């Protein structure tokens, strides 16, 4: 099982990166779906990273990438849950949702770049 965790994490990481490219090219009204898929892959990146034995900086970047994507998933999930319960999306959504999505996407981007650099550096 310990040998399968890095493979699962790497596969989820590369799928998360593909979804982040989809986020940048989809129109605004279909923005939620690729963000939620990216967040699900982010959870699949962050959780196995805790049990994989690797350098500390590589672990930090993978957790940052997965955690940033998971923040986007949680933010959109809570936003849609509140909208289903009858709260107006324009009320507090712009005050909390927009910064959380931007912060999550920025963390995912920084963590992804750092993780790719660590992976390439470890191959040498």
40 has a pLDDT exceeding 80: yes
3-state secondary structure (DSSP) of residue 86: coil
Residue 91 is predicted with a pLDDT of 57
122 has a pLDDT exceeding 60: yes
Task: Kindly state the tokens that stand for 85.
Answer: 């319960």
| pLDDT (mean) for 72-101 | 73
* Domain range summary for the chain, segments of one domain joined by +: 4-123
Residue 43 is predicted with a pLDDT of 92
Give CA–CA dist 51/58, Å, rounded.
13
pTM given for the model: 0.84
Q: Find tokens 């750092």 and name the residue.
A: 114
Residues in contact with 33: Cβ distance below 8 Å, sequence separation at least 6, in sequence order: 26
Residues in contact with 37: Cβ distance below 8 Å, sequence separation at least 6, in sequence order: 19, 22
| pLDDT (mean) for 61-77 | 89
Q: Find tokens 């699900």 and name the residue.
A: 40
3 has a pLDDT exceeding 60: yes
């Amino acid at each position: 099982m310990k040998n399968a965790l890095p493979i699962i994490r790497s596969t989820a990481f590369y799928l998360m990166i593909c979804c982040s490219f989809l986020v940048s090219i989809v129109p605004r009204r279909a923005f939620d779906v690729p963000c939620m898929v990216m967040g699900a892959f982010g959870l699949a990146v962050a959780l196995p990273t805790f049990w994989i034995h690797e350098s500390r900086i590589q672990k930090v970047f993978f957790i940052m990438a997965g955690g940033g994507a998971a923040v986007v998933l949680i933010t959109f999930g809570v936003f849609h849950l509140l909208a289903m319960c009858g709260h107006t999306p324009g009320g507090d959504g712009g005050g909390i949702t927009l910064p959380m999505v931007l912060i999550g996407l920025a963390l995912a981007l920084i963590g992804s770049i750092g993780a790719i650099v660590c992976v390439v550096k470890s191959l040498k």
